[in-house]
Structure 1
Amino acid sequence: MRVIYTIPLKSIKQLTIYTCLLLFGINSFAQVKNQTSGRQLTRLNDLWLFSKDPKATASYQSTGSLNWEKVTLPHTWNDKDVMDDEPGYYRGVGWYKRKFVTNGSLQGKDVFLCFDGANQETEVYVNGKQASKHIGGYTRFNVDIGKLLKFGADSVNEILVKVNNRNNDDIAPLSADFTFFGGIYRNVNLLVTNPVHFAENDNGSDGVYITTPVVSAQAAQVKVKSMLQNSSASAQKLQVNTVIYDADSKRVSTQQTLVQLSAGQKKALVQDLKPVTNPNLWSPESPYLYRVVTSIVITKTKQVVDEVSNPLGLRWFKFDAEKGFFLNDKPLKIIGASRHQDYEGMGNAVPADLQVHDMELLKQMGGNFVRIAHYPQDPVILQTCDRLGILASVEIPVVNAITETEAFTQNCKNMQLEMIKQNFNHPSIIIWGYMNEVLLRPKFGNDKPRQEIYYGHIRDLAQMLDSLTRKEDPSRYTMIANHGDFDRYNRVGLTKIPMIVGWNLYQGWYSGNLSGFGTYLDRHHTELKDKPVLITEYGADADPRIRTLEPVRFDKSIEYAIKYHQVYLNDMLKRPFVSGGMAWNLADFNSETREETMPHINNKGLLTIDRKPKDTYYLYQAYLLKKPFTKIASSGWTIRTGVADSVSGASMQPLQVATNARSVELFVNGKSLGTKAPTDHICNFQVPFVNGENRIRAVDAAGRQSDEVTIMFNLLPAKTNSMQPVNQLNILVGGNRYYIDEQLKQLWIPDQAYKKGEWGYIGGQPFKGNNNRISYGSDKNIYGTFNDPIYQTQHVDIKQYKLDVPDGDYELTLLFSELVGGETKEALVYNLDNNHSKEQSAEERIFNVDVNGVPFLKNFNIAAEYGYTTPVNKTIRVSVLNGKGFTVDFTPVKGKPVLNALQLRRID
């Protein structure tokens, strides 16, 4: 069993001495060795130094000239630069080093450095000599360092690690919609074993592999394959003992096998254990875990020289192309989410407790599946899946495209082997994947004969990886996740190779409309009758700062995302042949190249990047949880504003309640608004909001579940020219959505055409980028602000903006940003209706702005003065007299005047 020790610290010097004594002191090591049966694993995350090597010119001998800083692992050098406005992030070389002291007690032992993950090319040096190289950023690797250590009284050893996350055409992924963070971003451990031990050089595994050839409700067969290694200079007679313990630590099956290993020999041993009768079956509802402990004993001395422990979940499953997925002979609809590994402010260097929390949140959502995408992740993820009862798929990062080289193929093969062998014993895993949307960015588009050769190489790679996977683990299914180009994947042959076809579908988002999703599912069922299907991705951007009363595609609002997920869940749940679906994504994640309303973040998550639930998360709870559930889904929209009705004096706005109850009653400030039955697990109420606090309470029909929230409402007068003062007005000109400025607690409201006695624009039209997907506005990154949505909508060719407000002193701020022109960028490849759109041609834009007849901006040229996609705020103080309100005139000099947003604040 692996034991990890936590060492109390008083100072760096004391830590160094204490760590060395614990790891390498004669008496301490002997005592620990007896406790751990010859195997000791110690966390080695502290006392590291780090330095970048931007020119990649340093060698082991010259690293002393680098500028070093103290760091603690896990560590990435890209936790900050992926969020700045400068395109790109550091992809290059980073060096890590650490010193420790040994004495002679370790001589004769095998010593390994165990890296859980370093991205993506790693070289390890010990005392000036290279110990290992590893390629691939998402799998574990063990480095044998025993023969490179210095021994003797207080011998100082130095570990030096070179990590490189450069673009390398021979290493997957080549491109992807996520950030390739660099660094030693997972744990590093020091493993000490006796010379006779389970093999640590078998693709990063612990050398023990458990299979369950036959499982039923009556009995389960268990087979254990152990890779044994004798690195000593003499032959050894051994006994390998394997014991299965139940959850109460009672023995339920044992097997002892004698074996002899020659000096330096590595050997595989297979043990068939006595069947486990009447087994407790593993499932999402009851994730019962047995434990398999395998030990190596020297027969002559009876000494246990090595021992490992692995989980055992007894279950059987199948995918059926007609009837869906079955677990332990019971139909089970798989519903869950995909997961990326990064976290706000940390990049991918995320501590274990936060990673465990991700799986807990998925379970609390009612999810029973996680697609670990698009790469193997921290070992703690699958450990938690085993414990909580979450089914899983894991895949290697062959994303978007391949390179047609032998090196690329070999690296993919090595990644697949490492993924399978390192995670072989997790009962949660039911699928191995190896490609994602690999035809999304096909090369040689202008040379069709050459492109067909490229497609052939992709097909060959897929067949090789699929065959390898089936050979290494025939007990699980294989899968490729394809984007929605049915004809292309079918023609190339990628729908024929894997056991399961996965589709990443975004009808109603990147392409098409929502009704096209069900049509696509039915087409698969008609044309690929023999292929089980999973919907491996689906989702819509959901920026929690954006709300709307009229949701439309690509407005990035929570309300559209709710509608989107309702359609997808309904269409999957009512079709038995659909085995299940994985929402994209569990949580928002970093994608440095993205712009949109929240630059550098893909915000399709059901949780924010700091793991706060969105309304869509509550929707899933309403669909999936079996216990009573009622939640005010709009509880995140706690700051609102709106115009008062001229009769009631309140502002009617929608409020959504997610529930699995038959009906819900809603109370506002203690008064019932009546009872509603949910439609697709959402009750839609029209709430008369009053100025100030609005206490909302939702109660289900049985009175078993309730939820409360207080919403602060800023009630605007029906007529702004009334005696009621307008203290502040924030308007998204050219937009039809609300925006919540979380820092200033300000709410920006949609624009409107001018009506006498109110406010609004005169002339012109809302800005629309030159693509077919956005109804209004732009999705460009607005440099120098976190409030991009304020500047991403715009009214073009505007003539006037009028605000009929009472007399008084005001501060008027006009907000601008030039949305046309600037650097030409490649269209986001995932926008399937917009793959080849070009930037609109910039034209010179010069105009004048007058406020109440007084010149304010003369020959105003946004691009010339400030550049493109840059926020510009222009403020003027005005005294409004004689009931005239505000009239802002826009006069063109050249081109068409624009206005992006407007803010009015009363100051008297």
Structure 2
Amino acid sequence: MKDPKNQAMLPNLDAGWQPVTVPHTWNAVDAFDDVPGYYRGAGWYKIVMKTQAAWKGKVLYLQFDGANQETEVFVNGKKAGAHIGGYSRFIVPVTDLMRNEASALQTIAVKVNNRFNKDIAPLSGDFTFFGGLYRKVSLLVLNPVHFNDPDHGSSGLYISTPEVSAAKAALKVSGQLINKSAATKTLVLRNLVKDPQGQVVYSDDFSLGQISAGKRVAFTHQLPTLSNPVLWSPEQPALYTVISSIVDAQTGAVLDKLEHRTGMRWFRFDVNEGFFLNGKPYKLMGASRHQDYKGLGNAVPAALQVEDLRKIKAMGANFLRVAHYPQDQAVLDACDELGLLASLETPLVSEITESKAFTNNALRMQMEMIKQHYNHPSIIMWTYMNEILLKMQFKDAESRKKIYVENVRRLALALEKMTRRADPYRYTMIPNHHSIKTYKEAGLTDIPMVVGWNVYHGWYGGDLANFPEALDKLHAEVPGKPFMITEYGADADPRIHAYKPERFDKSVEYATRFHQTYLKAILSKPFVAGAQVWNFADFASEDREETMPHINNKGIMTIDRQAKNTYFLYCAFLSKTPYLKIGAAAQDRRSGSAMQGQDVVTQPVEVFGNVGDAELFLDGKSMGKKNFKDHIAVWNVPFQHGKNALKVVASGAARLEDQASINFNLIPADLSSKKLPFKALAISLGDPRYFEDETGNKIWLPDQAYRKGSWGYIGGVPYKKETGHQPFGSDKNIVGTALDPVFQTQRLGLEGYKLDVPNGKYEVTMYFAELMGAEMTTVLPYNLLPSYKKSAKEDRVFSVYLHGHLIANRLDLPKQFGLALAVQKKAKVIIKDNKGIYLQFKAIEGRPVLNALEVKRLAF
């Protein structure tokens, strides 16, 4: 039940509750709708359960794997505990608040609040802060003597490998236990180690002595050295199992038992030569990952999260940047099993608050992360403070800004010191946005062991062709630190295709060129320790508008995990086995307008591979052989109307092949063609791109000037917003439609539109949205380009005539409908005497506009 009033105690109401299944978020819908903002406030969960006989004499805890972000827990009306922070596990003792009688009803109530709180990170960021109990909740039923770490939500047992080589490996077990029984206990710590094949290679008992009632004790035990260990690596993720038990020395009873896996490996970073694992050089290539999923928000079942990791591994990656917060244990378990090295970070994103509470929360979050994930062999570094100077405070007061930056530096020093003390065996890293001078002057490049750079050269700024030089500059400017490219990417709306791609057109084709350039440069420079694409999959970002409102679509997969061409490119670059894939195979529909005198439309087809060359076939006919250039080969394919069967075959012994079937809707140059009778045409005005409309089962074609016998516009110019970066159109969220790209472009000052269709009955649909005057409501800090200029309002009133008949009278879009609202106007017409369709736009005030046009033939 949502609680906008943020009541201190559980509302005493029977009404207002909804049945839900945990994991759950209350923002799975409202974070994606057309209403600005999403619910950020309190919500209550409650469950009533009966006392179980098995609980008698036990100690009970409630374990929350993730609740965002302020949580209070009540048992039978009394407060049991609380937690601050949305991305770490926490454990609440509840034994003393439970009713003891048999079958007694126990009411558990949990209040969660995802409001903005200046003392809790993250304060802001390019992702949605979903609320709710979005990870698993468990009741732990333990013996009074058990492993315990009440402050950090961990199991209470920590395994390290302080020395590892090919010849030997040292294992150390440490942790805490507590005796909550009423008597002193003489205890033994029993350790058993199994090799990756499940064979016991070591076992012993270590005396813990007498532990008084109510006492918590810490222990450390060095196990004997293992000879000739099986080493953990991406190619062979060999896992040893360590089983640690607390045993009652007098009775021999096992009071508690924990089972953890570990891996034997050693690693180092080198400033000039990159990263080494087990003495061998590795380029740390992979992806950053957010945890949300289409239709689920962040309440994602573990099985789906593990499938993400399988897809990352399948593309040839060896590294995962878990960003921008700790994620489900299942994610790191999968890294261990699959052989994905990893970094893990806390959610200090973009800015800090200069308060003691914020600092304490940040330090506690870091320690929770380390303690809870300490035993994962896949983790090689702990990370904090992503782009922490991006949203710089006090920019207009230089002296105050210096104080703020100094406080950021002090917090970084405190986090670094604590992290190195808690785990001396792993590296530390701070990822920074691409402003070298800013971070050097702040001293932040001196603090961590590795520096991360989030680089969008060729997207938010800079020339894509100069990216290799940008890497050289990073190496030269901070010469004493190893570095990785922790983010890079370009928006890729999988519905948009451009055969002459350009920056910010949001096409898959531009994103493919972007990633191709980055991968080639990164892999060629040994001083770049690695790189993680931003992002593995599209993810929720409520403040974003653009072609897919509320979604950051820089992913190489969609938010529901459908592969884009960019994913295929990574498979081609990184796979160690032969790979061949026809691009956009999921785009089984294409369309295009034929040139005069032709009955085919020639369009490029990209094939991704890591083989020498390949041959493409269209309906069994060879289109010739092509060599792969930086893992892409392109054929210009003459598509005919209807089904087109594509097959690509790699040369050589491997004989790899891939196939795709393209259903092509060909629009003839002569719309009156009897060979291919006209049925329908959808046009996106002021737009050079193709847009795949899945809901309407059609392709919107780029606009063109009118040609006799064909179709096109008469007069006008494409709309271009003065943003300093967009080549055309607006990036405003268009309310009332999921087809934002269709409404985000238009022609201004249009005089007419002609389609020389044959005689018949037609439905004409005009699509409008007023774009001018609809400036950004939020200036997003990740956009490093010059500030948005306000789009000046233009007074426009116009009428539209179809063959001289008025079909839209005195349209005043902002006055009648509002800014950036999808509007449709339909009309039906019978064409006789081969006059075709002629729309006239008559200006009354200002310039007429049209965003898109659709024509359907209703009768023959």
**TM-score, length basis structure 2:** 0.98
Distance apart, 1:209 and its partner CA: 0.8
CA distance in 1, matches of 2:110, 2:660: 52
CA distance in 2, matches of 1:489, 1:219: 41
Distance apart, 1:215 and its partner CA: 0.5
3-state SS of 1:413 partner: helix
1:19 alignment partner in structure 2: none
Q: Which one-letter code corresponds to 1:743 in the other structure?
A: T
Distance apart, 1:722 and its partner CA: 4.3
1:84 aligns with 2:33: yes
Contact 2:724 2:788 in 1 (8 A): no
2:431 alignment partner in structure 1: 481
1:793 alignment partner in structure 2: 745
1:781 aligns with 2:733: yes
Distance apart, 1:646 and its partner CA: 4.0
Contact 2:732 2:776 in 1 (8 A): no
1:821 aligns with 2:773: yes
Gaps of 5+ in 1: 1-50
Distance apart, 1:101 and its partner CA: 1.8
**Structure 1 segments of 4+ aligned residues over 6 angstroms from their partners:** none
Distance apart, 1:248 and its partner CA: 2.3
Contact 2:597 2:669 in 1 (8 A): no
1:860 alignment partner in structure 2: 811
Distance apart, 1:105 and its partner CA: 5.4
1:18 alignment partner in structure 2: none
Q: Which one-letter code corresponds to 1:182 in the other structure?
A: G
Distance apart, 1:880 and its partner CA: 2.8
1:211 aligns with 2:152: no
2:518 alignment partner in structure 1: 568
CA distance in 1, matches of 2:344, 2:483: 16
Q: Which one-letter code corresponds to 1:216 in the other structure?
A: S
Contact 1:644 1:718 in 2 (8 A): yes
2:446 aligns with one of 467, 471, 496: 496
1:350 aligns with one of 286, 289, 300: 300
CA distance in 1, matches of 2:472, 2:761: 63
Contact 2:732 2:774 in 1 (8 A): no
- Structure 1 residues 364 and 105, CA, compared in 2 at 3 Å: closer, same or farther? closer
1:111 alignment partner in structure 2: 60
3-state SS of 2:584 partner: helix
CA distance in 2, matches of 1:239, 1:180: 45
Contact 2:565 2:584 in 1 (8 A): yes
Q: Where does 1:169-188 land on structure 2 (aligned, <5 Å)? A: 169-188=118-137
Q: Which one-letter code corresponds to 1:577 in the other structure?
A: F
1:676 alignment partner in structure 2: 626
1:848 aligns with 2:799: yes
How many positions carry a matched residue from both structures?
A: 856
Contact 2:319 2:341 in 1 (8 A): yes
1:732 aligns with 2:684: yes
1:620 aligns with one of 555, 564, 570: 570
CA distance in 1, matches of 2:51, 2:842: 79
Contact 1:240 1:258 in 2 (8 A): yes
1:438 alignment partner in structure 2: 388
2:227 aligns with one of 251, 257, 277: 277
CA distance in 2, matches of 1:492, 1:720: 65
Distance apart, 1:648 and its partner CA: 4.8
CA distance in 2, matches of 1:818, 1:540: 27
2:286 aligns with one of 336, 359, 377: 336
3-state SS of 2:630 partner: coil
765-774 vs 717-726, greater mean Cα deviation? 717-726
2:369 alignment partner in structure 1: 419
Q: Which one-letter code corresponds to 2:102 in the other structure?
A: A
Q: Where does 1:110-259 land on structure 2 (aligned, <5 Å)? A: 110-259=59-208
Q: Which one-letter code corresponds to 1:785 in the other structure?
A: T
Distance apart, 1:808 and its partner CA: 2.8
1:530 alignment partner in structure 2: 480
1:710 aligns with one of 640, 649, 661: 661
CA distance in 1, matches of 2:2, 2:835: 62
Gaps of 5+ in 2: none
Contact 1:618 1:658 in 2 (8 A): yes
1:369 aligns with one of 319, 338, 350: 319
Q: Which one-letter code corresponds to 2:679 in the other structure?
A: N
CA distance in 2, matches of 1:156, 1:717: 74
CA displacement, residues 168-195 of structure 1 (integer Å, 9 cap, x when unaligned): 0000000111111111110011111111
**TM-score, length basis structure 1:** 0.93
Q: Which one-letter code corresponds to 2:669 in the other structure?
A: A
1:893 aligns with 2:840: no
Contact 1:255 1:271 in 2 (8 A): no
3-state SS of 1:636 partner: coil
849-858 vs 392-401, greater mean Cα deviation? 849-858
- Structure 1 residues 823 and 58, CA, compared in 2 at 3 Å: closer, same or farther? farther
CA distance in 2, matches of 1:99, 1:887: 68
3-state SS of 2:99 partner: coil
- Structure 1 residues 58 and 256, CA, compared in 2 at 3 Å: closer, same or farther? closer
Distance apart, 1:606 and its partner CA: 1.0
Distance apart, 1:744 and its partner CA: 1.9
CA displacement, residues 108-145 of structure 1 (integer Å, 9 cap, x when unaligned): 32211111010100011112221111000000001111
2:785 alignment partner in structure 1: 833
Q: Where does 1:393-404 land on structure 2 (aligned, <5 Å)? A: 393-404=343-354
CA distance in 2, matches of 1:217, 1:130: 53
Q: Which one-letter code corresponds to 1:247 in the other structure?
A: P
Percent of counterpart pairs with the same letter?
50
Distance apart, 1:508 and its partner CA: 1.2
Distance apart, 1:852 and its partner CA: 2.3
3-state SS of 1:358 partner: helix
Contact 1:241 1:294 in 2 (8 A): yes
- Structure 1 residues 783 and 337, CA, compared in 2 at 3 Å: closer, same or farther? same
Q: Which one-letter code corresponds to 2:726 in the other structure?
A: I
1:326 alignment partner in structure 2: 276
CA distance in 2, matches of 1:162, 1:68: 13
RMSD value, Cα: 1.4
1:288 alignment partner in structure 2: 238
1:388 aligns with 2:363: no
2:7 aligns with one of 50, 54, 57: 57
CA displacement, residues 255-290 of structure 1 (integer Å, 9 cap, x when unaligned): 321112222221111111111111110011000000
1:32 alignment partner in structure 2: none
- Structure 1 residues 497 and 158, CA, compared in 2 at 3 Å: closer, same or farther? same
CA displacement, residues 468-502 of structure 1 (integer Å, 9 cap, x when unaligned): 11110111111111111111111111111111110
1:745 aligns with 2:718: no
CA distance in 2, matches of 1:200, 1:526: 44
Distance apart, 1:806 and its partner CA: 2.6
